[in-house]
């Protein structure tokens, strides 16, 4: 920010940061590069989906298997548990599980994980799983145990845990979209006997056991199973249907258009038979036409911009042609010196003459040597089918520069040389829009 003569702070952009300067792409994503580009596109598009959309979709998918009986996959693990007791009951259970040496016949793979569970009266109060790694891919981290139960029956302790993502209130899902339904475990152990020495379970210190006993902390062996729901296949089917509808012209949600969150999510919800949602801004045909600033507050055209003999000033018409898109609105940044009545526009252009001349003269310098962005910018010229190399010798550029220089000369100022303006510094030149517009208008009238 810079402080202007009227005490107000205004944004100051150096040439390299000027928003109107065309920039090359930071990166080019090509389908020829395989999954790397595809993953980046998917990740980027996901940022357009609202969190509320994701929560609704997650909850709907997770509930559907209960109704439709979607298949489940089970992953086994071999574990070591540490049970800390208080007044004879398990208060905390930590676990570290690894991939087992062999799998049972009904298993779809193995899993490794570690975490901790806090228990009160057989109910899980809270807990965390630091990581959950599947043998066939996916390493999930920072998971929260929402609820569950831990039951003790003589030689065994059984448990069931429900997990969620810690950072967002969503179910834990693998990279294929399928959700982790639950984690179950079984701890093997031998209860202590008050008068005899019993064999200790593996990894258990003397005096430990899973039955009733004094406050203690003991290690035990056991196993765990992670159950994953195949609840995301319906999404793949819905997307296939959306693509088909776009190809046959029945829909345009996946056509070659900008990604539109509301139409895409509405179509997805419909194909998944989800409850209806009132979507905003889907039917653009019923939206009002866009209104520009000048249409809402049109300039006073009853008084034409004219010189002493009533002729139209060519330079002002040229300014409107090349600069109006950015400088004719109601916003004062960038300076709206073309906004207002004909007399006001002339006054504002004249008051801004030194800065206008500075920006116009930038076209005479090589790009690396320009302390400020040349105006009109390259994009404005391209909209008028003018190449930058054509503009440097264009007749209209000379018209604009000569007018700005003539205004400075008429005001008693010697038309400055470019090197003098650069030495003075653009930020130190007179502001385009002073506090009092009336003073500018009266100044024009007196000339």
Please report the pLDDT score of residue 201 as a whole number.
39
Please report the pLDDT score of residue 18 as a whole number.
74
How far apart (Å, rounded) are the C-alpha atoms in residues 231 and 72? Answer: 9
Q: How far is CA 379 from CA 24, 322, 385, in A?
A: 13, 11, 10
Q: How confident is the model at residue 283 (pLDDT cuts 50, 70, 90)?
A: confident
Please report the pLDDT score of residue 208 as a whole number.
41
Mean pLDDT (the chain, rounded): 82
**How many Å is the maximal CA-CA distance in the chain?**
122
Percent of residues, the chain, with pLDDT higher than 90: 47
Per-residue pLDDT, averaged over 123-137, amounts to: 93
Whether the CB-CB separation of 204 and 52 falls below 8 Å is answered with: no
CA–chain centroid gap for 440, Å, is 45
- pLDDT digits 0-9 by tens, 224-259: 999 999 999 999 999 999 999 999 999 999 999 888
Domains of the chain, by residue range, sit at: 68-229, 232-287, 300-446
Whether residue 9 is predicted with pLDDT greater than 80 in this model: the reply is no
pTM summary value: 0.62
Percent of residues, the chain, with pLDDT higher than 70: 80
Cα R_g (the chain), whole angstroms: 36
How far apart (Å, rounded) are the C-alpha atoms in residues 84 and 298? Answer: 78
Beta bridge pairs of residue 34: none
Please report the pLDDT score of residue 294 as a whole number.
52
Burial of 353 (0-12, 13-18, 19+ CB in 10 A): buried
- Under 8 Å CB-to-CB from 169, ≥6 apart: which residues? 55
Mean pLDDT is lowest, of 241-250, 280-289, 311-320, 325-334, for 280-289
DSSP H or E segment with residue 109: strand 109-120
Our CA dihedral for 412, 417, 419, 424, rounded to 10 degrees, sits at 10
Q: How confident is the model at residue 435 (pLDDT cuts 50, 70, 90)?
A: low
Please report the pLDDT score of residue 42 as a whole number.
85
Please report the pLDDT score of residue 67 as a whole number.
59
Beta bridge pairs of residue 78: 98, 223
Q: Quote the tokens at residue 223.
A: 């196993």
Per-residue pLDDT, averaged over 61-77, amounts to: 82
Please report the pLDDT score of residue 16 as a whole number.
66
How far apart (Å, rounded) are the C-alpha atoms in residues 59 and 62? Answer: 5
Whether residue 298 is predicted with pLDDT greater than 60 in this model: the reply is no
Whether residue 146 is predicted with pLDDT greater than 70 in this model: the reply is yes
Whether the CB-CB separation of 168 and 146 falls below 8 Å is answered with: no
Whether the CB-CB separation of 447 and 313 falls below 8 Å is answered with: no
DSSP H or E segment with residue 439: helix 437-446
Residue with tokens 């440097």: 392
Backbone dihedral angles phi then psi of residue 429, each to the nearest 5 degrees: -75, 165
How far apart (Å, rounded) are the C-alpha atoms in residues 407 and 411? Answer: 6
Task: Give all strands (DSSP E) within 1-63, no chain letters.
Answer: 2-3, 9-10
Please report the pLDDT score of residue 211 as a whole number.
46
Whether residue 380 is predicted with pLDDT greater than 80 in this model: the reply is yes
- Sequence-separated contacts (24+) of 323-326 with Cβ below 8 Å: 323/375, 323/376, 323/380, 325/380, 325/383, 326/20, 326/380
Please report the pLDDT score of residue 77 as a whole number.
95
101, 80, 92, 114: which is closest to 203 by C-alpha?
80
Mean pLDDT is lowest, of 109-123, 282-296, 302-316, for 302-316
Mean pLDDT is lowest, of 17-31, 54-68, 164-178, for 17-31
Beta bridge pairs of residue 3: 9
- pLDDT digits 0-9 by tens, 388-400: 999 999 999 999 9
Please report the pLDDT score of residue 215 as a whole number.
59
């Amino acid at each position: 920010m810079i402080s202007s003569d009227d005490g107000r702070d205004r944004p100051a952009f150096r040439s390299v940061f000027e928003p109107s300067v065309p920039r090359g792409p930071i990166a080019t994503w090509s389908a020829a590069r395989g999954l790397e580009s595809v993953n980046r596109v998917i990740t980027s598009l996901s940022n357009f989906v609202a969190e509320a959309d994701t929560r609704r979709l997650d909850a709907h998918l997770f509930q559907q298997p209960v109704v439709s009986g979607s298949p489940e996959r089970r992953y086994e693990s071999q574990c070591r548990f540490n049970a800390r007791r208080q007044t004879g009951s398990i208060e905390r259970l930590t676990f570290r599980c690894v991939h087992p040496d062999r799998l049972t016949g009904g298993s779809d793979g193995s899993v490794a994980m570690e975490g901790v569970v806090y228990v009160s009266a057989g109910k899980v109060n809270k807990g965390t799983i630091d990581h959950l790694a599947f043998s066939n891919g996916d390493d999930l981290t920072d998971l929260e145990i929402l609820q569950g139960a831990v039951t003790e029956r003589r030689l065994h302790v059984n448990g069931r845990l429900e997990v969620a993502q810690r950072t967002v209130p969503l179910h834990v899902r693998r990279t294929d979209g399928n959700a982790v339904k639950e984690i179950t475990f079984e701890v093997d152990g031998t209860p202590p006997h008050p008068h005899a020495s019993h064999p200790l379970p593996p990894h258990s210190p003397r005096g430990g056991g899973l039955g009733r006993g004094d406050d203690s902390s003991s290690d035990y062996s056991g196993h765990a199973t992670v159950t994953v729901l195949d609840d995301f296949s319906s999404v793949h089917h819905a997307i296939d249907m959306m693509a088909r509808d776009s190809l046959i012209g029945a829909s345009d949600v996946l056509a070659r258009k900008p990604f539109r969150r509301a139409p895409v999510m509405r179509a997805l919800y419909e194909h998944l038979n989800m409850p209806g949602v009132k979507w905003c801004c889907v039917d653009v045909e019923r939206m009002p036409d866009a209104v520009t600033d000048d249409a809402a507050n049109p300039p006073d055209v009853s008084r034409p911009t004219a010189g002493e003999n009533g002729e139209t000033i060519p330079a002002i018409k040229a300014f409107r042609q090349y600069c109006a898109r950015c400088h004719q609105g109601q916003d004062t940044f960038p300076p709206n010196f073309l906004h207002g009545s004909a007399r006001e526009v002339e006054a504002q252009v004249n008051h801004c003459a030194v800065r206008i001349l500075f920006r116009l003269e930038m076209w005479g310098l090589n790009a690396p040597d320009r302390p400020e962005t040349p105006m009109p910018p390259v994009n404005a010229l391209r909209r008028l089918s003018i190449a930058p190399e054509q503009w440097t010798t264009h007749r209209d550029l000379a018209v604009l520069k000569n007018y700005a220089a003539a205004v400075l000369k008429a005001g008693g100022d010697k038309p400055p040389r470019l090197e003098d303006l650069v030495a003075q510094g653009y930020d130190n030149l007179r502001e385009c829009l002073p506090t009092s517009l009336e003073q500018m208008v009266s100044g024009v009238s007196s000339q």
